[in-house]
Structure 1
Amino acid sequence: MRLDKYLKNSRIIKRRTVAKEACEAGRIQVNGKVAKPGVELRTGDEIVITFGNSTMKVRVEELIESPRKEDAEKMYTVIQ
């Protein structure tokens, strides 16, 4: 699944266009490398998202194409 779509489906970022812009600005890393919106994710990948002064680190647990609200929380685990 694409990174921008994953961020939207997991509800980490509310809109796919905002997720795409964050990737293009270099604020999102996957496994320690700055990621583009089209990066394909796999379970176990680690994503680091920088929001202003704060940083969020999550591990990909599941890839669900159209999750319900309850299932979106199961898609990732917050590490930091």
Structure 2
Amino acid sequence: MASDDESGTVRIDSWIWSVRLTKTRSQAATACRAGHVRVNGERVKPAQAVRTGDEVRVRLAGHERIVVVSKVIKKRVGAPVAAECYVDNSPPPPPREHVAPVAVRDRGTGRPTKRDRRELERLQGH
């Protein structure tokens, strides 16, 4: 019987972990069971085989990653090597809202003076 490397397939949860889309293999398997992983548009179980050319959609932390498998690997590798194993077609993340800087006062300095309050308001954009 052929091994996974000879047939060109590997388990989807193992591949997602190997190319560093998730931190642990158990996170990858949990995402598969929860329906957050799709291969070629189909929801998959953790043991589903993935091949070169498959489109994998992984939804993690509210952000969807869309990757096309360019190389099937079974062992976890470094980030530069892992990036060569897929083509990332993910949409760019939405722009982050500008957050006003938070004014921090030293503990024990007492109540802010009128001048301090005006500077705080100026920083906050009031």
**Contact residue 37 and residue 56 of structure 2 kept, 8 A:** yes
Deviation of 1:66 after TM superposition, in Å, equals 2.5
Residue of structure 2 in register with 1:25 after alignment: 34
Cα distance in 2 between the residues matched to 1:61 and 1:33? 19
Match of 1:48 among 47, 57, 62: 57
Q: Determine helix, strand or coil for the equivalent of 2:66.
A: strand
AA in 1 matched with 2:31: A
- Taking the aligned partners of 2:67 and 2:77, their CA distance within structure 1 comes to 19
The secondary structure found in structure 1 opposite 2:49 is coil
1:35 pairs with one of 44, 47, 69: 44
Q: What TM-score do you get using the length of structure 2 for normalisation? A: 0.60
The Cα RMSD (Å) is 1.2
Tell me which of 89, 92, 96 is aligned to 1:79: 89
User: Could you tell me the TM-score, scaled by structure 1's length?
Assistant: 0.91
| Deviation readout 1:3-29 (Å, 9 max, x if unpaired) | 000011101111000000000000110
Please, which runs of 5 or more residues in structure 2 have no aligned partner? Answer: 1-9, 91-126
Indicate if the aligned counterparts of 2:19 and 2:77 stay in contact, CA closer than 8 A. no
Q: Structure 1: which 4+ aligned runs deviate by more than 6 Å?
A: none
List alignment gaps of at least 5 residues for structure 1.
none
Structure scoring higher RCO (CA < 8 A, sep ≥ 6) equals 1
Partner AA of 1:54 in structure 2 = H
Instruction: Report the structure number with the largest CA radius of gyration.
Output: 2
Count of paired positions:
80
